[in-house]
Structure 1
C-alpha cells in the first residue's frame, strides 16, 4: 500500500469509521515492519507506555484527528512519509507529544537535516558518581566498579550502579559521627541504600550527605533532586535538610527537587505522610500533593501534583504536562551535561506535554521538538541555542 492508502486507513481508524476489511489491511501493514507496528501500538495504546499515555491524555479520537488535520494544513510541504509518522505520534498523544524508542529514531532520521544544526551527537547521561569518605578519600562509582570497603566498622558494598551500607554492632557512636557524601555530576545518576534500608535515587547534578550509621534521628542533607523510599521506623524519624527546608517522615516515598537554578524547592509525596517546614511555616502533605517553597520569599504553598511528571525520571523518562520549554531545557542541560541557551523571547509561551526517553540522544529529542512545535536547535561554540521557527 502507498502512503495515500495508509493515510486513509489511519483516518478511518481514528475517526471510528474503519470497516472490518480496512482493519485487516491496517493490521497487515503493521506486520510489515517494526516501525509500522510502533505506530499502531501507540495509536491503540498497546505500547509499554500505553497505560500512562491513556492516563495522561484521555484523548478523544475525533478531537485528536482534528488536531492532526490542522497540523497537516501547516506542513503540506513535508514529505508524505514524515507526515504519516507525525500522524502516528499525534494520534496517540496529541500535538507536541514526544515518545520513545524506534519510532522516535526513525522519525528523527527522516527530518529535513537543515532544520536543526547540531554539529555533534550529544549522548545521554550515565550512571556515575563520586563517593567521598569521612577520611576525605574519593572513590569513583560507575557500572563497572565492584568492590567492598570498610569504614569505622561499617561495610560499604559497591556493586556497579548501586551502593549499600551495613553497620555492625561494633560501629557505635564513631559511625554516627562520620559522614559520607555521594556527588553525582551533570550527565549522571546514581542510587544507594542507606544503613537503615532507606533507598535513594540521585538525579544529575545532585548530592547526598549522610552518617555511616544513624542515631536517634535519621538525618541527611541533599542538593539537586533525590527520590526517597524511606524504611519505616516509628521510633526514629527520617529528616531531609535541603536549602533551608526540612522534611520529616516516618516511612514514605517522595521526591525533592532543589536545584540552584530553579526558582522553587518542590517536594512531591507519593506514599505515606510528610511534614515540610521552612522559615517558620509548616505543612503536612498527603499522597499526591506537592509543597513548593519560593526562594524569592513567597513562602510555602501546597498543590495537587502530577506525580509521574515529578518521579518518572528515575525510571528513565522525563514526563511533563503543559511545561514551559525553558523548564524542560534546564532538565536537558543537567542530564546531557550541555549548555542550552533559551533566552530568545520567541520561546515565551511555548509549552509541551509528553514524554522523553532519557536515554535517547539529545539530537533525537531536538529533532522531534523541531517537528512538533517549530523550535530550532543550533550549535555554536559548544553552546546549543533554541529559538522558535519563524512563520
Structure 2
C-alpha cells in the first residue's frame, strides 16, 4: 500500500509542483517493479479521466483528493519546469504521462496492444516566411535556409543581432499552419515560440532608441523578451487584435485564435501591462487575463502556469478541461477536423498530460476505453466522436 508521503509526491508530480528532491525520491521508489504497478493503479484510479469529478467512490475521497492536489500550491518559474522535465527524463520518470502507458492496461494483465496504423501524423516544425517584397519561403524541419540578415535550420529562424535600422522599419511575416510550430529569435534577442495556426508580424531590425513593436496577428505565442536595460531603456510592445501588451523584460504567453472570442494573456515572470479599450491591467507572475471580445469585458485569475505554456516544450497539459476544448487543441496540432455526433459529451471533464508526438488514435482509443465516448470514426482528416 502506498504511504501518505508517496501519495503526496505523486499528486504534486502530476500537478507539476514536485521539487527536484521529491523527484529523486519518486525515482528511487519506482526502481522496484512492484512499486511501478502500485503507481500505475493509483494513477489510473485517481487521476485518469473524470466526468467533472463525478467518478470518485465517495464524497470524502473526492474531497481528500482535491485537498491533496491543492495543498502546498506555489508559483514555479518556467525555468524550474524545464529543469524538472530534463531531470525526469534522465531519471526515467515519465513526466509526459502518455495515456497509452498508464490507462490502457487491464487489471492483472500485461499491456498487449496491436500497432496503431494511422495516416494522421503529429505536427512538426514548419512555417511560411513572407519577405518585405511579398516573396514567400517555405521553412520546414530538415531544410536549411539563408538570408542576408537571417538563417534557418528548419526548426527556427534567427535574425542577426546588433544591426540598427535608422531609416525605415521593414517587416517580415512568419505564418505557422495547422499541424505546425516554429521558433524565431528577433534582431533584439527576443525569443518567440509560435504554436499551430499562428501568424507574427515583426521588423527585421528595430529602430534605435524607439519602442520595439511586433504584432501577433492571430494564434498563440510564447515570448521571452530581451530586457529594456539591454536596449537603452526602450519598451517592447506586442499588439494583438483589440489589446496591446507593454513589456519591460519578461516571459509571457498570448493565446488569441481567430475562431475563439477570448484572448488569454498569461504572465510567467516579470511584469506586463495589458491594455484594452476598456481596461489597463498590470499582471503578476501566474496571473492570466481573459479578454472577451464579444462581451467587451476582462477578468483576471490565478492559473497553473505550466498548463498554459507546456505546449512549447512538446507537452499538452490539461486540467479539468472539457472535451470540446481539448479537441480544439488537438485539431490544430494534428491538422484534422473533429466533430461531435452527440453534443452532451462536449462537456465531459478531463485531466491528462500528453506528448505532442503521440498518435492521435492512441488518444482516442483511451478516451473510448474510459467511456467518455462510445466510439469514433476516422476518415482522411476527419474525425467523428460518438
Q: Normalized against structure 2, the TM-score is what?
A: 0.73
SS of structure 2 residue aligned to 1:172: coil
- Equivalent position of 1:93 in the other structure: 47
Deviation at 1:132, TM superposition (A): 0.8
CA distance in 1, matches of 2:132, 2:340: 40
CA distance in 1, matches of 2:184, 2:381: 33
- Equivalent position of 1:221 in the other structure: 215
RMSD (Å), alpha carbons: 3.2
CA distance in 1, matches of 2:266, 2:140: 28
Question: For each residue in 1:172-197, what CA deviation from the matched residue of structure 2 results, as whole angstroms up to 9, or x when unmatched?
Answer: 334x4210111010000000100010
Deviation at 1:296, TM superposition (A): 0.9
* Aligned residue runs from structure 1 range 215-254, under 5 A: 215=207, 216-222=210-216, 223-234=218-229, 235-254=233-252
- Equivalent position of 2:282 in the other structure: 284
* Rg comparison, structure with higher value: 1
- Equivalent position of 1:69 in the other structure: none
Change (3 A) 1:328 1:173: same
Deviation at 1:217, TM superposition (A): 1.0
Question: For each residue in 1:15-47, what CA deviation from the matched residue of structure 2 results, as whole angstroms up to 9, or x when unmatched?
Answer: x59xxxxxxxxxxxxxxxxxxxxxxxx98968x
* Aligned residue runs from structure 1 range 9-24, under 5 A: 13-14=1-2, 16=3
Q: Which runs of 5+ in 1 are unaligned?
A: 1-12, 18-41, 58-82
Question: For each residue in 1:102-153, what CA deviation from the matched residue of structure 2 results, as whole angstroms up to 9, or x when unmatched?
Answer: 726975985699xxxx994321000111111112111111221223211xxx
Aligned counterpart in structure 1 of residue 160 of structure 2, from 162, 166, 181:
166
SS of structure 2 residue aligned to 1:181: strand
SS of structure 1 residue aligned to 2:330: helix
SS of structure 2 residue aligned to 1:226: strand
Q: Is the 8 A contact 1:45 1:92 kept in 2?
A: no
* Aligned residue runs from structure 1 range 1-391, under 5 A: 13-14=1-2, 16=3, 52-53=13-14, 55=16, 87=41, 89-91=43-45, 93-96=47-50, 99-100=97-98, 103=101, 110=112, 120-150=118-148, 155-167=149-161, 169=163, 172-174=165-167, 176-215=168-207, 216-222=210-216, 223-234=218-229, 235-342=233-340, 344-375=342-373, 376-380=375-379, 382-387=381-386
What count of residue pairs does the alignment treat as equivalent?
A: 313
Question: For each residue in 1:293-333, what CA deviation from the matched residue of structure 2 results, as whole angstroms up to 9, or x when unmatched?
Answer: 00112411111112111100001111111111000000000
Q: Which runs of 5+ in 2 are unaligned?
A: 19-36, 52-95
Change (3 A) 1:106 1:300: closer
Change (3 A) 1:146 1:201: same
Change (3 A) 1:253 1:167: closer
Question: For each residue in 1:224-267, what CA deviation from the matched residue of structure 2 results, as whole angstroms up to 9, or x when unmatched?
Answer: 00000001014211111111111110100000000012231000
Q: Is the 8 A contact 1:111 1:367 kept in 2?
A: no
